[in-house]
Amino acid sequence: MNINNPWARAGCRARFLLRLLSATLTSFVIIILLAGCAAESTNPLAVEKLNGDPPKQEKMSLEIDCRGVVNGVFQPGSETPYYEKTYPVNYTGDWYMPYYAKSKWYMITSDEPGARVDIVATMSRVVINFWDYDFYDNPGKVKFLVDDKPIGSFDLDRESSDGQKMLTYQITTQKNTVATVSMILESGRVTVFGYLISCLDENFLY
């Protein structure tokens, strides 16, 4: 898609929203599953894994949608969290953030090569939940980094290893201090549904 063409961009967004509407029920199921796994010491949804295993026990997990700081400005513009300056999720590039009014849940999507998300926190791991690849055009490929060190890539145009279409990817930090987990779009489109950020337990460190 030519991101500089407003008509092409509007058409893409219209098709994307129509597919989102057809998938509303699926979204509610995933929200429930993400919330349910927040209390687990190991996340059963994290089918795909990179950078080793997390500690055997974690203090807590924070489930969040895709709101965040986009190119220096917290989005959506109608909301500003009190911790805006230290919000853990930052986006760079051309991102579009659709909203489910009933679920009060924001997703995010981009088809700009090089579009990037950085999650910065003192954490044991991040689980990224990718939207069903059947519901959007041209699912592509992303790569992951920890503190700017490449650790692997992920093809979005496929089922997960357990046969599910909602893809979840776990990236561990292998650190007991602040870490940056990054995802960069290499090709095609990426659509993210939410994140699970797990906090370290001081009694079970790396």
Asked whether residue 196 is assigned to any structural domain, the reply reads yes
Question: Model confidence at 164, in pLDDT bands (50, 70, 90)?
Answer: low
Asked whether residue 117 is assigned to any structural domain, the reply reads yes
Asked whether residue 36 is assigned to any structural domain, the reply reads yes
pLDDT at 5 > cutoff 90: no
Which residues are bridge partners to 201 per DSSP? 204
Asked whether residue 1 is assigned to any structural domain, the reply reads no
**Average pLDDT estimate for 64-84:** 83
pLDDT, the chain, mean: 80
> How many structural domains is the chain composed of?
1
Say which CATH number the domain at 131 has: 2.60.120.260
Domain that holds residue 66: 6-200
Asked whether residue 25 is assigned to any structural domain, the reply reads yes
Asked whether residue 205 is assigned to any structural domain, the reply reads no
Res 86: pLDDT? 79
